[in-house]
Chain A
Amino acid sequence: MTKLVQIAGYLGSGKTTVIIAIGKGLSETGVKVAIIVNDAGAIPVDGRVMQQYGLTVKDIGGGCICCQVAGNLLKTLDVLAGGLKPDIIFVEPTGMAVPHSIRENVKYGAAKANITIGPTIVLFDATRREKLLTYDTLKRLITTQLSDADIIALSKVDLVSEGDIERSREAVRQINPKARVVKLSTRTGEGIPDLVHAIEEMTIPA
């Protein structure tokens, strides 16, 4: 059975980089990985970069998969799970996407496509804590994204002080006290084994 893992988070939080790191690592151990990318931007970039690293990627355009083209996500899942039969499908939504909308939409088609739902991992850029939680509409979006997380990964922790990390941890805990919080740096590799372990272990009831 294929497990679907959503790696969400605001624009520039490091989603593509972490998927490349985890995807490559899992592939090297024999796990069959596929990635669905919904790039925010008129001309896609992320999918091409992932392909350069040898990963199997399906790029969905035409709008955001949490709302405008949710149906295209289900069609793509159906095709991937039925054809390639990967062990894990990573979904990288746009940085503006609302994770629970994607999860709800996926649940709708998961049983039919023989897919289990893994954790929703939401990245929070620890270098931009204040900015992300300042502007009204932006704060609303970030708060929604964090509230939907099973795991919150504080990204780019190698670029900030321990004090800043703790302030970010506190801020995200206030928004979502239930989520597991992990420190993440794709430069040093910190947190990657924790995320891999969680991806392998966690299954969310349908």
Chain B
Amino acid sequence: MTVATMTAPATASHIKPTQLVSGTFVTTDLKRARRMCEELLGLECVEAEPGTLLIREQGHQPGGPLAGKPYWVLEAREVPTIETPQEMLNHWGVFVTSQAAVDDAFEKINAQQKDFGLGRVQKPRFRHGSYAFYFVDGDSNWWEIEYRTPDLLYTALREKGDQH
């Protein structure tokens, strides 16, 4: 990843953040959510405290290929009920390295839909230059498995600036 890792605080805004550091979602079954994140999505998980799971991509551990680089954390909190069910436009995205990897992920996830307690698993399709599919987990959280060519990576689009 060539993009600058940490940005300087904004100077003119009312709030001057240094990092968009995490996003949060809820689950009614933290063990189920952890198994999905680890065994299905291949993410690193740690239970920070009872009822709270922290999730990040693999490789940031000491000695890992991404050690010392910034990462984004998803915080999953266990709740008795899902008060605000999520829909497809409220999803979490996971990049894979090729179009074939998207197809491979779709085949495997679709085959193990029941085992992981998933809802709908949509077929991969091209959209706005990305190739991706969506699925919904047992808590109504939507996930996208996505591949983008290098010129359409989010970091590349930042450098291009506004197109509209």
Binding between chains A and B: no
- Using a CB–CB cutoff of 8 Å, the interface residues on chain A facing chain B are none
